Amino acid sequence: MKENINKYILDRILKVFGDETIKSSSEILNEDRDIHNWADGISEHKYLHNKINAYRDFDINKDWEILSEKTVLKRKRLVWVKYAASVIVVLSLSCFAYLISSRLIPSNENLVSKYKNESIKLEIEGQGVYNIEDTTNANKIDNDKINISKRSISYIGHRTDTIVKWNKLITPRAKKYKVELADGSIVWLNSRTKLRFPDKFTGNKRIVYLLEGEAYFEIQKDINREFIVWTDSIQVKVLGTKFNIRAYSNFKEKKITLKEGSVELSKSDKKQILVPNMQAVVSENNITSIKVNANDICSWVNSMLIYKTVRLDDIFQDLTKYYDFDLEYENNELKNKYFSIAVKNRDSISDILKAIELTGKVQFTIQKNKIIVKTKK
């Protein structure tokens, strides 16, 4: 196990910097005793598990800038300056890369496939439905009102008319999209989400409807016009704040998580006011609130999935937003095992399962489109 981990990490370094840059893995290890000892130490299971939890504290872009400043290009080869500290940074990041890339189970993406071919749709009242990932459709839409790109759509433009048209944005499984509303507020739509909103706001209220799915909101402050989000049964009222709403129809509970500011949510005769890093859990007959890390909950906006002490069954439920699979447990007790992992939601489902397997609690097999969860032996 130790030899495989060390080899994998050093292969990652060679892959990043090129075979000509570092002649062999043994050269690095032999030249610095501390790095050698560090590489040996990471094969301990407990340490690996801790590295997963610590991964979200890494600023990859910052570390890369530091690393880049300590290397210079000379005769098409990288000359290392203070290489030991730099290699440790790379080793730390590579350790996490190993956690999601080790070959514990088959990596054939076809076994459990991501939805990649469905398109993001925009439905404009009285006008039609458009595939907005196809840029040719931008010419068919009134461009003085809407600016469209492959990753986002903006409604901030020069409006002279008074007619309000309602729009509906629909994201399929495994895709997300950003919309800038007419007041400058930003909404990120997660996988399998439908948002209904006007192309301009009038009156003393700004109202949108989260018809299905999950969305992250960054609301422009306007003390004269409150912002209201409606789901099928919940009203969330704000002035200016950042929050996340998860309201999938096939999930038993709806969850509202506050990142900044404050929100008031109501359901029937029940009301709840949230402060930052609090989450309201709304069931059919009740509203409860718990303390959470809002950055973890909202990490999907940055294409990360961070689960901190989460039930395995809840992790799999969340993954259904991005992947299509059937699930079978060897015994129901496995559903209630807790895990802490951080992965990219662009990874294959196989890579995510490998990260969970490395905790040593469970193991998986894949049969066609079915994931079978078993006790680790």
Give tens-digit pLDDT for 54-81.
444 445 455 545 545 544 444 344 444 4
Q: What is the DSSP letter of 10?
A: H
Cβ(322)–Cβ(173) below 8 Å:
yes
User: What CATH number corresponds to the domain at position 254?
Assistant: 2.60.120.1440
Residue 133 sits in the same domain as residue 261: yes
Q: Pick from 248, 263, 292: which residue ends a domain?
A: 292
Q: How confident is the model at residue 143 (pLDDT cuts 50, 70, 90)?
A: low
Written as six digits, the tokens of 167 are 């729009």
End-to-end C-alpha distance for the chain, whole angstroms = 16
Residue 168 sits in the same domain as residue 233: yes
Alpha helices in the chain (DSSP H): 2-17, 25-31, 33-41, 45-54, 60-69, 83-99, 294-297, 312-319, 349-357
Residue 368 lies in a domain: yes
Residue 106 lies in a domain: no
Burial of 331 (0-12, 13-18, 19+ CB in 10 A): exposed
How far is Cα 30 from Cα 46, in angstroms, rounded to an integer? 26
Residue 317 sits in the same domain as residue 271: no
How far is Cα 242 from Cα 245, in angstroms, rounded to an integer? 10
- What pairs with residue 237 in β-bridges? 228, 264
Residue 311 sits in the same domain as residue 174: no
Burial 215-225 (b: 16+ CB within 10 A, else e): bbbbbeebeeb
Looking only at the bridges linking them, the beta strands covering 177-180 and 152-154 are: parallel
- Please tell me the total count of domains within the chain: 3
User: What CATH number corresponds to the domain at position 356?
Assistant: 3.55.50.30
**Domain span including residue 314:** 303-375
- What pairs with residue 265 in β-bridges? 236, 272
Residue 307 sits in the same domain as residue 253: no
Residue 128 sits in the same domain as residue 247: yes
Residue 13 sits in the same domain as residue 36: yes
Residue given tokens 């610095």 in the structure block? 32
How far is Cα 117 from Cα 112, in angstroms, rounded to an integer? 15
pLDDT of residue 144: 60
Of 169, 209, 175, the closest CA to residue 190 belongs to 175
Residue 90 sits in the same domain as residue 151: no
Query: How do residues 296-329 score in pLDDT, each as one tens digit?
Result: 999 999 999 999 999 999 999 999 888 888 999 9
pLDDT of residue 240: 86
Residue 183 sits in the same domain as residue 325: no
Does residue 105 register a pLDDT over 60?
no
Q: How confident is the model at residue 90 (pLDDT cuts 50, 70, 90)?
A: very low
Residue given tokens 């459709």 in the structure block? 137
Q: Pick from 267, 292, 317: which residue ends a domain?
A: 292
